[in-house]
Structure 1
Amino acid sequence: MMQASRLRNMKFGSEPLIFHAQGYHDYKPVWPKLRDWVFAQAPQQLGPRPRVSIITCNNGHEAMGLFESSVERLGIPYIVAGRQFPVWNNAEHKPLAILEALEQVETDYVLCADSRDAILAGDPELLVDRLLAEFPAGTGMVFGACQMSWPNAPDLSGFELGLPGAAQSEYKHLNGGAWIGERNLVRDFFIAARDAAPHPAAPESEQGKLRIVFPDFHPRVALDYGVKLFHNVGFVFEDTYQIVGEAEAA
């Protein structure tokens, strides 16, 4: 029979399961290959996952829904929040929508990714396994990391650049487009983000608020320096992905 194929990042030796194409279209040339591979896979019916629930924010704009489509191909239920905010402001509404979604979560872990420009490539239970196996004890929440500091402000980047992991990877900065974490810690984090003032460098960006509160939660909240769970592929110009596992199995 045919062995299922997987996407492997040859640079990191990893197989991330969430791909997030942040930024402008011209600045994510690797994205089409990854997106097309994910949607070419045979649909599955995994059903509810025992340890992790999936949430996303979608206010109904026509550009939204890509992430939900990828989750549906895996046959996994998900929670959508934010429909009550037709005029959307990320800094104000995204923390509120996430906190709303958390009220419906009963599993120990929560996975979230952006509706418009992220895809899930496999069973999110594997992300729980990797969080527990690949990160230091006490780590309860992991964000995807990216190469660019946004908002680009020294008071935000200084803390992140000073962390040990930043010296080992070009992915040094918190990106809010994908994360996984323990439900209660996630709730505490987003309450703090909700209550934080927007960063003046980007007052409509929730990412500025996330980066403001990040130092208060580190090391319980960490970044995925090794692209083990997530890959933010905006502004990535080198294709390091190989499709593996396609050989015929006896």
Structure 2
Amino acid sequence: MSDPQIEGAGAPGTVDGHPVLRGSDLADVPLAWPVTSTRVLAEGHVATFAEDEVRTPDGGTMHREYLRHPGAVGIIALDDAARAVLVRQYRHPVRHRLTEPPAGLLDHAGEDPLVAAQRELAEEVGLAAGRWDVLVDLFSTPGIISEGIRVFLARDLSPAARPDGFTAEGEEADMDTVWASLDDLLAAVLDGRLHNPTLVTGVLAAGVARRDGYASLRPGDAPWPARASLAEAGLLPG
């Protein structure tokens, strides 16, 4: 293959005949191929395991098994010294105790993601934040699960009481709280020592956003179009 040639300086251009995306064109697009049948294979406490028969654009069909998941929020909470508060939690499917940011499910129909993040920060580490921004939105594993995650940046931290009725159970009962500098977290992620996807994505996003003093981030209550598209597809609670 010859060296790629970029054509059309100042225009969208191509590389070896393939388009170069820029600006608003660089975006994922909601799209749903027709589902001709659905079979629920198992109902879990959090997720539903389903199999869809899907009509492909060429007129054929394919079968895809996947987990319907309510989604989640995560929080990179930084103090004035750029240290993040974290928890260490056992995760049975991967047989690891992972270092993670405070996080939680969006399993209540219609729950506002920012409100959920504020609750989780108080529940898991006993903190509130005076400033909330959106770091990044992602699909955790889009080939097998419909989980969408919004990762927030929380700053101006202060102590907060645990919400009434909160009781740590299961893995959460064995969690502990730790702190780490953003620089040390970035190094640990790039060295392959940390694996939680919410932490990895959030830390890398925070490292990039820090370059302009977080001025480019969206506000904490910014729209979440990808989650809205999941709701339209019937993949969220209620």
TM-score by length of 2: 0.23
TM-score by length of 1: 0.22
Identify the structure with the greater strand proportion.
2
Mark the structure with the bigger radius of gyration: 2
